[in-house]
Amino acid sequence: MRHLIDILELSVNELDELISTACDIIENGEKYAHKCAGKKLATLFFEPSTRTRLSFEAAMYELGGNVLTMADAGSSSAAKGESVADTAKMISCYADIIAMRHPKEGAPLVAANNATIPVINAGDGGHHHPTQTLADLLTIHREKGRFNDLTIGLCGDLKFGRTVHSLIGAMTRYKHIKFVLISPEELRVPDYVKNIITDAGHEFIETTSLEESMPMLDILYMTRVQRERFFNEEEYLRLKDSYILNVEKLNNAKEDLVIMHPLPRVNEISVAVDNDKRACYFKQALYGKYMRMALILKLLGIK
């Protein structure tokens, strides 16, 4: 039985298979409409994340399956003192597959070690968020047509931004990738993530300037400076507006730049940018649903 806790558990070949299934779903959706008939997905969300939960639920419904939701798990089972291990054992009695989000890092791994059904990590604190990375990879595949020879700018909260860490981990497995890490000093990429880049033989540049980096980028991945990742409110207020993408900053960007964002956006991308053909973040959310469909099929062993 397979789980998905960290994107790196999937080989490059398996990623290719998932992408190819997702592309087939995009082209021939009707073929997949009843693939999961009679199966149930349990979405266990111990911290609020409406969009990821809805994406999973939409994915399961489009496969003809059903959904059990514990949207406020944090205020039910956990509040009563139930361990993650017990929750996983209990849900295994009711559902066929689990998607779990939890504020504690490693909670989905604990669930996977105790469940008798596949567990998908839908985000664990500031740690992993593999299905967001699946969405990101399908976006890159569909919009750039390749995974090699890319200069990828990552901008915003690179310290706590789990989507950034997962995407870096996934992209280091391809060839000739250059990372441009754009963040305030306080929110730089942790050293262990930089080691992953250099150990894989890729280059990275650290900078505080979004504008100066813009002309070299093939992909710009914007992230939100998240209030919940700060211990200190003052720090949050000081840094939250540091890196805002607007139409002016895009003047010296490449014509075929792909602008990505895991969403939700607060104000780090001005609404006017949405009309630019290079803005791909809403498509990215749609691609996320297709990749979740492909993943559910894979983990349930349905062809």
> What distance in Å separates the CA atoms of residue 223 and residue 152, rounded to the nearest whole number?
13
Considering only 8, 23, 58, 106, the residue that binds another protein (CB under 8 A) is 106
Task: Tell which residue, 239, 48, 219, has the closest CA to residue 158.
Answer: 239
- Element (DSSP H or E) covering residue 86: helix 84-92
Q: Is 262 in the site for another protein (CB under 8 A)?
A: no
Considering only 109, 181, 219, 294, the residue that binds another protein (CB under 8 A) is 109
* Beta strands at 177-182 and 258-260: parallel, antiparallel or unpaired: unpaired
* CB proximity list for 17: less than 8 A, separation 6 or greater: 298
In the window 160-199, what residues touch another protein (CB under 8 A)?
A: 192, 195
Neighbours of 145 (CB within 10 A): 7
For another protein, which stretch binds (CB under 8 A), given 50-58, 124-132, 266-274, 287-295?
Answer: 124-132
Q: Is 90 in the site for another protein (CB under 8 A)?
A: no
Considering only 127, 202, 261, 292, the residue that binds another protein (CB under 8 A) is 127
From the CA atom positions of the chain, what is the Rg in Å? Answer: 19
* 275 CB-contact burial (10 Å; exposed 0-12 / middle 13-18 / buried 19+): exposed
**CB of 72: closest distance to another protein in angstroms?**
18
For another protein, which stretch binds (CB under 8 A), given 59-67, 120-128, 143-151, 247-255?
Answer: 120-128
- Farthest-apart Cα atoms in the chain, separation: 56
| Residue whose entry in the numeric block shows the structure tokens 């994406």 | 55
Q: Which residues pair with 97 in a beta bridge?
A: 41
**CB of 108: closest distance to another protein in angstroms?**
9
Q: Is 292 in the site for another protein (CB under 8 A)?
A: no
Between 17 and 47, name the residue whose CB sits nearer to another protein.
47
For another protein, which stretch binds (CB under 8 A), given 31-39, 77-85, 235-243, 253-261?
Answer: 77-85
Give the residues lining the site for another protein (CB under 8 A): 83-85, 102-107, 109-110, 124-127, 192, 195
